[in-house]
Amino acid sequence: MKYVPDTSVLVDGRITELIERNELVDPEVIIPEAVIVELEVMANKGLDTGFAGLEELRKLSRMASDGKIEMKYTGPRPTPEQIEVSHTGEIDRIVRDVAREEDAVLITGDYVQARVAGAYGLRTIYLRPEEHEEPEIMKYFDETTMSVHIREGVPPMAKKGRPGNFKLVEIGNRPITEPEIRKMAREIVEFARRDRDSFIEIEREGATVVQMGPVRIAIARPPFSDGYEITAVRPIAKVTLEEYSMSEKLKKRIEKRAEGILISGPPGAGKSTFAQALAEFYSSKGKIVKTMESPRDLQVSQEITQYSPLEGDMEKTAEVLLLVRPDYTVYDEMRKTKDFEIFADMRLAGVGMIGVVHSTRPIDALQRFIGRVELGVIPQIVDTVIFIEDGEIRKVYEVRMTVKVPTGMTDLDLARPVIEVRDFEKGEVEYEIYTYGEQVVVIPVRRDEKVSRRERTHEIIGIKETKKQLFLLVGKEFSGERVALYCDGEYVLTARVNRSGEIRINKRSGVAKRIVNLLKKGGRLSITPQ
C-alpha cells in the first residue's frame, strides 16, 4: 500500500516506528519533494526540527536499501514564494495533492492537516500525541539537581543544592562529543513534539527553547554559539508565602495595598519561586490570577492560567488579558522596553501587576523604568519593590511621590515633584528620583549624614522683633524644613522655617510670650530638624 508522510511525522520520527512495528501493510513510502525542501530550509536555518526530519529520511532510505520498504520521491518542487508562506498551509496542500495523485494514504501528526484531508475525501492516518520515554538528558537529574549543563568537549556539569546554597559538580566521567550532544538535542525536540505536556517555546537560527513539563531546556548551536550546548533548568523548590521570613507589616501590605509589585534580584536568586508563591497566595484569597511568560516555566496550580506571547507578541497577549479581567497578573522575565511599557499599560488599566526583573541592587529594578515610562507615573505603576537574594527577602522598598525641595538643596524655589524610595520596614528615605535640568537623577540619601544632622541641636542665630511678629533667625540652610524649638532642652514648639531662614511667631501668642520670658531669664534657644 502507498503511504505519503507529511513533514510533521518525519520530524517526530513516527513513520519508522510504524514500519518497525509492522503496522503498515506492504509499505511503499512516497516522499513529496515539497517535504524535502521544507526540511532542508529548516536545517539551513539551524533548526533542530529540520535535522530531525532529515535524520528520519535517512532511516527510511536505509530501510529501502535493506528491502524492508519501497520508497520514492515525487511531486513538484515548491517555489520560494510557496516556501515563504508555508505557515499558511501551502506546503500541506502540495502534500495532499501528491497523496491524491498517487491514490495513497496520507500520514500526518497535524490535526488541521488531517481534518482538511478528510474533507477532501483522502484516506488519512492521524497520529495523535503519545506518551514516550523521557530524553536521555533527564537521567542527569536527581532530587537535588537545579540545572544540568552539557557542552561539547567537556564532561556534563550540574548545579546541586538550593538557591543561594549550591555547588557546581561534574556528573560525567568523560567529555561529551558533538554527535552525542546533537543526538540529545534531536531527542528533546522530538519528545516535545509528541508529548502533550511539552512544547517548543522558541525556535530560531542557532537556538531552541523547550519547556518539558517543569524543565526548561535551552539548546544553543553554531553560528549562535561557538559549539553545541544544552542547558536544562528545573525548579527544585515550590514554597508558600508563609515560608518566607516576612514581618506582619509586609504581609498586610501584600494582602491589602500592594498592586504594583516588582520582584528583583540577580539570576538564580529565587525570584520566580517567590513570584509563584505570590501568585498562589492571591489565588487562595479568591483572586483571578494569570501569568505572562516566555517561556512558560512557572510552577503554578491548575487554577492559574499561563499565557505566552500571542502570535509572538506579548502586547497581543495583554489585549486578551484585559478582556479576561484578572485581578492580578504575573509578568515573568521583563527585559525589553516593550515589556515595561506593557506592564505600565496594564497597571494603569487597573490590573494588579507583579513583575519579575533582573537586578543586582534593589534600586536597579526601579531605574529600569526610567526613560521607558513617564517619570511622574512610576509611583502609580510600582508601589512596592521586593529584592530577593539567596532565596530570601533581603530588602523591601515603598515608592511614593511628593513635592518638596530635594535633600541637599536649600532654596524653596528648587521644590519639584520627587519620587521617594523608602525602606519599607524603617520608613526612611534611601533614594530620591527627580528631574535636574534635562536629566533624571537617582540620588542616594546618605542616612548617616541625615541622622547625625537630626540628632544635632543648632543654636538660634538671633532674634528680631517687629510690632506684631517675633522672628527667630535660624539660617537659610534650614529653609523649608520643619524644626523643633527648645529652650534649655525643654520643648517649646514645632514650626516650619521660611525661605529667609526664619521662624515667624505672632507676638501676641502665648508661645511668643513664653519665649520672651525664657530669654529674660537667660535661657538658650536651639532647634533640631525633624
Tell me the average pLDDT of the chain: 87
pLDDT (tens digit per residue) in 491-506: 888 888 888 889 999 8
Dig out the grid coordinates for 112 from the structure.
488541521
To the nearest 10°, the Cα dihedral for 19, 24, 27, 33?
A: -80
Q: CA-to-CA distance for 69 and 407, rounded, in angstroms?
A: 83
Which amino acid appears at position 173 of this protein?
A: N
Which amino acid appears at position 495 of this protein?
A: A
pLDDT of 346 reads: 94
Q: CB-side exposure of 309: number of CA atoms within 13 Å?
A: 15
pLDDT (tens digit per residue) in 238-260: 788 888 988 999 999 998 888 89
State the residue for C-alpha cell 543544592: 161
CA-based R_g, the chain, Å: 34
pLDDT (tens digit per residue) in 328-346: 999 988 989 999 999 999 9
pLDDT of 418 reads: 93
Dihedrals φ, ψ of 387, to 5°? -100, 125
Judging by beta carbons within 10 Å of its beta carbon (0-12, 13-18, 19+), is residue 264 exposed, middle or buried? buried
pLDDT (tens digit per residue) in 122-158: 999 998 766 667 888 888 888 889 899 999 999 999 9
**Section 302-325 average pLDDT:** 91
Pairing of strands 462-465, 289-292: unpaired
Q: Does domain 241-446 have CATH number 3.40.50.300?
A: yes
CATH 3.40.50.300 segments of the chain: 241-446
The model's confidence at residue 323, banded by pLDDT at 50, 70 and 90, is: very high
Q: CB-side exposure of 399: number of CA atoms within 13 Å?
A: 26
Judging by beta carbons within 10 Å of its beta carbon (0-12, 13-18, 19+), is residue 403 exposed, middle or buried? exposed
Q: 175 near 155, Cβ under 8 Å?
A: yes
Q: CA-to-CA distance for 419 and 189, rounded, in angstroms?
A: 48
User: Does residue 289 carry a pLDDT above 60?
Assistant: yes
Q: CA-to-CA distance for 177 and 185, rounded, in angstroms?
A: 13
CATH 3.30.450.90 segments of the chain: 136-233
pLDDT of 130 reads: 62
Q: 10 near 57, Cβ under 8 Å?
A: yes
pLDDT of 6 reads: 92
Dihedrals φ, ψ of 87, to 5°? -65, -15
Which of 124-138, 139-153, 274-288, 470-484 comes out lowest in average pLDDT?
124-138
Which of 322-331, 354-363, 508-517 comes out lowest in average pLDDT?
508-517
The model's confidence at residue 519, banded by pLDDT at 50, 70 and 90, is: confident
CATH 3.40.50.1010 segments of the chain: 2-126
Strand order in the sheet with 482-487: 458-459, 525-529, 482-487, 490-496
Which of 130-134, 288-292, 480-484 comes out lowest in average pLDDT?
130-134
Q: 258 near 250, Cβ under 8 Å?
A: no
CB atoms within 10 A of CB 228: 22
Which residues does residue 106 pair with via DSSP β-bridges, in sequence order? Answer: 4, 124
Residue 155: which of 188, 181, 182 has the closest Cα?
181
pLDDT (tens digit per residue) in 372-429: 999 999 999 999 999 999 889 999 999 999 988 888 776 777 889 999 999 999 888 9
Q: CA-to-CA distance for 154 and 243, rounded, in angstroms?
A: 38
Residue 209: which of 182, 226, 227, 233 has the closest Cα?
233
Residue 28: which of 59, 66, 72 has the closest Cα?
72
Residue 198 or 283, more confident = 283
Residue 12: which of 133, 127, 182 has the closest Cα?
127
**Section 295-319 average pLDDT:** 88
User: Does residue 45 carry a pLDDT above 90?
Assistant: no
Q: CA-to-CA distance for 114 and 462, rounded, in angstroms?
A: 94
User: Does residue 194 carry a pLDDT above 80?
Assistant: no
pLDDT of 330 reads: 95
pTM: 0.65
User: Does residue 237 carry a pLDDT above 80?
Assistant: no
Which amino acid appears at position 439 of this protein?
A: Q
Residue 102: which of 188, 204, 29 has the closest Cα?
29
In terms of CATH, what superfamily is 2-126?
5'-nuclease (3.40.50.1010)
Its sign, for the CA torsion 276, 277, 280, 281, is negative
CB atoms within 10 A of CB 407: 16
To the nearest 10°, the Cα dihedral for 98, 99, 103, 105?
A: 160
Q: 274 near 355, Cβ under 8 Å?
A: no
Which of 31-40, 342-351, 479-488 comes out lowest in average pLDDT?
479-488
Dig out the grid coordinates for 50 from the structure.
529540520
**Section 185-206 average pLDDT:** 82
pLDDT of 415 reads: 86
Quick one: what percent of the chain has pLDDT higher than 70? 96
pLDDT of 214 reads: 83
User: Does residue 86 carry a pLDDT above 90?
Assistant: no
Q: CA-to-CA distance for 514 and 521, rounded, in angstroms?
A: 11
Contacts of 21 (CB under 8 A, 6+ apart): none
- Go through the chain and tell me how many residues it has: 530
User: Does residue 454 carry a pLDDT above 60?
Assistant: no
**Section 5-15 average pLDDT:** 87
Residue 93 or 80, more confident = 93
**CATH T-level topology, domain 136-233:** Beta-Lactamase (3.30.450)
Q: 320 near 310, Cβ under 8 Å?
A: yes
pLDDT of 405 reads: 85
Q: Under DSSP, is residue 91 helix (H, G, I), strand (E, B) or coil?
A: helix
Residue 49: which of 96, 13, 18 has the closest Cα?
13
Q: Could you tell me the CA-to-CA distances from 210 to 158, 251, 394, 434 in Å, in that order?
A: 19, 36, 32, 43
